A and B are shown apart, each in its own frame.
Chain A
Amino acid sequence: MPERTMIEIASVTRSYGAFKALDDASLSIREGEFFSLLGPSGCGKTTLLRMIAGFDTPTSGSIAIDGQPMNGIPANRRPINMVFQSYAIFPHLNVEQNVGYGLKRLRLETGEEKRRVDEALAMVSLSGLGKRGATELSGGQRQRVALARALVMRPKVLLLDEPLSALDKKLREQMQVELRRLQQAVGITFILVTHDQYEALAMSDRIAVMFGGRIAQIAAPKEIYQRPVNRQVADFLGGMNFVQAEIVGEDAGQILVDTRALGRVRTDKPKLFRKNGGSATLGIRPERLRVLWDEATAKFEVAGKVVDRRYFGEITHLIVEIPGLEKPLSVTETNDFGADDIPIGAPIRLAYDPDALVAMGE
């Protein structure tokens, strides 16, 4: 991937009176990247997207697209297009007219406009539906029209505002695959706003996780999931067991901690690591703990007792009490060996990889 910056956001703040919807956000997005802004509602992700699109103006800071500063440039003169959450399909126009809406202004040669519209419709598998009225479309089709309408303009950046949230689960998963494939085919920079962590993890090259108007972490999906910088990010991306540990050694990049029940662990210092007294919080994902059956042993294991069990079809969640740990550990185990049949109260041994224990910053 060429390492050219497509979007540069420099200390952008958006205030409404005393309330800061976005607080000093800085990030740069590379050309051809699939970038997601992930966070709960009200975290500022949509505000940031709307400022990139030109529908909102930063209170301070600057936004540049492909090296061009965007201050004072209105939405209709920015080299970007957007897929709206409501899709915003023009109800008085048919599919073809919707897709060709932006081309009308370009005054293309005869036939060229039609060719580009057809090409865009083919790209989103809507060939042959050009004459269909906008109000006669299903949710999935409306979304495809919105995509085609934006892509036909050949923007430098495509913005997607929660594009899949109105679709049902099955269609949503199918569209995730299609969106990702489409992005790789056209090579355009995509910026996706979503509150669905699975969506962000499945589609993105990189993710910015946001809370309360601030960017908490920017990293690749695997990094975000496995090495979240703090408890908030860890929790938002999925289940996480938190373990208190005593710091027994420290050098420039790493700390050595004693978790008692899970032994001594050496781990990377997270960004924004702050020692509170002599203790640190470590986290381990539930699927990184594995049930040890019968005589099986592991280099790192811990014994406990099952106190609760929840069945989810392909997996089972076990809650395991470990002597010496304040909170019981949550474990997800696939059901191929019978985790769904472990009786509550049964003794159990868990294997873990100390590398999966990561220190949390605050």
Chain B
Amino acid sequence: MTAMRKLLANWLPAYAFLYIAFLYLPVLLLPVFSVNASPIPKFPLTGVTLDWYAGLPRTPALLDAAWNSLVVGIAASLLSTLLGICAARAITRYRFPGRRAVSGLIMAPLVLPEIIVAISLLLVLLQLGLSLSLFTVVLGHVLICIPYSMTVLTSGFEGFDRSLEEASADLGESAFGTFRRVTLPMVAPAIVSSLLVSFTISLDEFVMAFFLTGTDPTLPVYIWGQLRFAAKLPGVLALGTLLLAASFLLLTLAEMLRRRAERRANPQGGVLA
């Protein structure tokens, strides 16, 4: 038993290190090669340059794609957060038949094979006679963003003391006034967090965007297109690095806000004298 424990104590840190290295090393190579002077992503590096970054704003197709991604991201995050608020509120506040089933179905896109969902959605949209556009991409993105919105919002809404809203009504405030003066300020961090998370997901999403877009590519679709040309690779690496940094930043911010919302809903400390 002690021998086993010793072995584990020695090897567990090594295992953890290898695991994390395998996960993140490739990602870290992206920024490294993006500043490599040679267009071929290969060691040893031939020199440091920011030329690839400088070239990005001079590519009109890329700027269009970035704009498309921004529009889709904002629309998808607003829509999925709005729907998420309704769903999270219903699920945390009311008990109704089929509550678990509904919450399971909303979370399902998280585990469904995305390519299958994308193809099914494509078939349905075409049957409905809708032409593919950024709008259809937004629809697809809302579908996959909602589980994330729900998770973030539920953790912000859960433990929200209902007597706070009753206290507001008791003090003469109307239902709308109560929402504006009590409910909204308390869950605002969770809502912002949900917006950021869904925006990030939409920004990085490829499969849905690939199937559902018409002639306007989003950034990931644009990157996919560029990969066919070896000469364009360094630019793609630079763009990828920027996307990576943006995602990381937004998600960190979102998580900070989510924790703040959770603290607000369940204030700790000072409960007993």
Report the Cα distance A167→B169, complex, angstroms. Answer: 26
B267 at the interface (CB under 8 A from A): yes
Chain A: minimal CB distance from B262 (Å): 12
Query: Are B270 and A53 neighbours in the complex by a CB distance under 8 Å?
Result: no
Q: Which interface residue of B170, B181, B182, B273 has the most chain A CB atoms within 10 A?
A: B170
Query: Are A75 and B186 neighbours in the complex by a CB distance under 8 Å?
Result: no
Query: Are A84 and B167 neighbours in the complex by a CB distance under 8 Å?
Result: yes
Chain A: minimal CB distance from B156 (Å): 13
Report the Cα distance A132→B238, complex, angstroms. Answer: 50
In this complex, how many residues of chain B approach chain A with their Cβ under 8 Å: the count is: 24
Q: Which residues of B contact A80 (CB under 8 A)?
A: 170
Q: Which residues of A contact B172 (CB under 8 A)?
A: 76-77, 102, 105-106, 153
Q: Which residues of A contact B269 (CB under 8 A)?
A: 135
Q: Mark A63-101, 1 if CB is under 8 A from B, else 0.
A: 000000000001111001110111010111000000001
Chain A: minimal CB distance from B144 (Å): 32
Quick one: closest B residue to A155, CB to CB?
B170
Report the Cα distance A141→B273, complex, angstroms. Answer: 8
Given B170, B177, B185, B267, which contacts A75 in the complex, CB threshold below 8 Å?
B170
In this complex, how many residues of chain A approach chain B with their Cβ under 8 Å: the count is: 37
Q: Which residues of B contact A138 (CB under 8 A)?
A: 270, 272-273
B114 at the interface (CB under 8 A from A): no
Query: Are B164 and A76 neighbours in the complex by a CB distance under 8 Å?
Result: no
Report the Cα distance A74→B172, complex, angstroms. Answer: 10
Quick one: closest A residue to B162, CB to CB?
A88
Query: Are A75 and B270 neighbours in the complex by a CB distance under 8 Å?
Result: no
A40 at the interface (CB under 8 A from B): no
Query: Are A102 and B163 neighbours in the complex by a CB distance under 8 Å?
Result: no
Query: Are A88 and B272 neighbours in the complex by a CB distance under 8 Å?
Result: no
Given contacts A135-B267, A135-B269, A168-B272, contact A84 B171 (CB under 8 A): no
Report the Cα distance A168→B172, complex, angstroms. Answer: 31
A139 at the interface (CB under 8 A from B): yes
Chain A: minimal CB distance from B167 (Å): 4
- Number of A-B pairs whose CB atoms are under 8 Å? 85
Quick one: closest B residue to A149, CB to CB?
B171
Given contacts A76-B174, A84-B163, A138-B273, contact A92 B185 (CB under 8 A): yes
Q: Which residues of B contact A273 (CB under 8 A)?
A: none
Q: Enumerate A157-196 residues with CB–CB distance to B below 8 Å.
A: 166-168, 171
Chain A: minimal CB distance from B260 (Å): 11
Q: Enumerate B171-208 residues with CB–CB distance to A below 8 Å.
A: 171-174, 177, 181-182, 185-186
Q: Enumerate B248-273 residues with CB–CB distance to A below 8 Å.
A: 264, 267, 269-273
Report the Cα distance A105→B177, complex, angstroms. Answer: 10
Given contacts A84-B163, A86-B163, contact A53 B272 (CB under 8 A): no
Query: Are A76 and B271 neighbours in the complex by a CB distance under 8 Å?
Result: no
Given contacts A90-B182, A91-B186, A92-B185, contact A136 B171 (CB under 8 A): no
Given contacts A82-B167, A88-B167, A102-B172, contact A166 B186 (CB under 8 A): no
Report the Cα distance A138→B167, complex, angstroms. Answer: 19
Query: Are A137 and B167 neighbours in the complex by a CB distance under 8 Å?
Result: no
Report the Cα distance A80→B185, complex, angstroms. Answer: 26
Query: Are A82 and B170 neighbours in the complex by a CB distance under 8 Å?
Result: yes
Q: Which residues of B contact A90 (CB under 8 A)?
A: 164, 167-168, 182
Q: Which residues of B contact A139 (CB under 8 A)?
A: 270-273
Q: Which interface residue of A86, A88, A134 has the most chain B CB atoms within 10 A?
A: A88
A311 at the interface (CB under 8 A from B): no
A293 at the interface (CB under 8 A from B): no
Report the Cα distance A81→B168, complex, angstroms. Answer: 10
Chain A: minimal CB distance from B183 (Å): 11
Query: Are B174 and A88 neighbours in the complex by a CB distance under 8 Å?
Result: no
**Sample (23) of A-B pairs whose CB atoms are under 8 Å apart:** A55-B166, A75-B169, A76-B173, A82-B170, A84-B163, A84-B167, A85-B163, A88-B161, A88-B164, A91-B267, A101-B168, A101-B171, A102-B173, A105-B172, A135-B267, A136-B270, A139-B270, A139-B271, A139-B273, A149-B167, A149-B171, A150-B170, A171-B273
Q: Which residues of B contact A (CB under 8 A)?
A: 161, 163-164, 166-174, 177, 181-182, 185-186, 264, 267, 269-273
- 3 residue pairs, one from A and one from B, having the closest CB atoms: A102-B171, A88-B167, A138-B273
